[in-house]
Amino acid sequence: MGKGYLGLIEDIRSWLRFQQSLGMEFVSSSPGISGFLSSADTHDPARKNVPGGHFFAGRSRDGVPGSSVSAPGSDTLPGLKSKVEKCTGCDLHRYRTNVVFGEGPEDARLLVVGEAPGRQEDQEGRPFVGVSGELLTKMLRAINISRTECFITSVVKCRPPGNRTPEQHEIERCAPFLFRQIELIRPSFILALGLIAAHTLFKTDNPLTSLRGRWHRLDNARVMVTYHPAYLLRFGGMRQKNLKREAWHDLQMLEKEYVASKNA
């Protein structure tokens, strides 16, 4: 069996996992295709076959440098976390149950940046633990990246009331914490989820469609922009299908470079 053949199988498996992550539970296939997919990897306990189908169970910066925002001084991530937890820098502190600083290894190679905590994140004090978080975990798994190897955070660290979009002055007050996190973690890759994350990192107001699907650089990190999981969950029909295809393209680009740099 040649390497190309194995690569093709892995691509198919990744695509199927990605479809699963977006809610697809069944794909029509002949028994022959089911057998082919099963034989591709017999070590994945999350997959099982049924007759007639396959179930899944399982310093360019594009503008102004982000670090022009004055980062709050703290030499360690725990030190920064303790500062953020006491922060009353904007009105969002009035509504929070918990500050959501982010979580993950202090030396993570991949930093994932979302928009803001939602209700469940606010309750638990952890990032991406709601429905969007479940989808994020599955999206990462689809490209063979474990959630636990990433540091996951957001642009603002306190939940906006009613899950509204953070306002510009709130973003400006909170973004220095994010840039300090980037300085301390020094990730090789950043995955920016959605418009707020991309606009904050690159200080631009370009549409997401012009930012996603290509590599950017932020200091030493390579940055990929894609749709926020919540956005992917918002639509149905052809719109969702197109968004899914684009997100998958972005994630595959990330997987390719992430794996290559791991093996370098």
Footprint on this chain of ligand SF4 (rule: CB under 6 A): 84, 87-90, 92-93, 99, 156-158, 170, 173-174
Q: At closest approach, how far in Å is the CB of 231 from ligand SF4? A: 21
CB 18 within 8 A of CB 136: no
Q: Return the number of the residue (201 or 232) whose C-beta is nearest ligand SF4.
A: 201
H helix or E strand, kind and range, residue 167? none
Q: At closest approach, how far in Å is the CB of 69 from ligand SF4? A: 12
Please tell me the distance from the alpha carbon of residue 227 to that of residue 238, in angstroms, as a whole number: 16
Q: At closest approach, how far in Å is the CB of 155 from ligand SF4? A: 9
Q: Return the number of the residue (203 or 222) whose C-beta is nearest ligand SF4.
A: 203
Q: Return the number of the residue (91 or 246) whose C-beta is nearest ligand SF4.
A: 91
CB 91 within 8 A of CB 170: yes
Please tell me the distance from the alpha carbon of residue 2 to that of residue 141, in angstroms, as a whole number: 25
Q: Return the number of the residue (53 or 176) whose C-beta is nearest ligand SF4.
A: 176
Q: Return the number of the residue (53 or 72) whose C-beta is nearest ligand SF4.
A: 72
CB 178 within 8 A of CB 200: yes
CB 123 within 8 A of CB 97: yes
SS3 of 76, please?
A: coil
Please tell me the distance from the alpha carbon of residue 234 to that of residue 163, in angstroms, as a whole number: 14
Q: At closest approach, how far in Å is the CB of 164 from ligand SF4? A: 13
Q: At closest approach, how far in Å is the CB of 173 from ligand SF4? A: 4
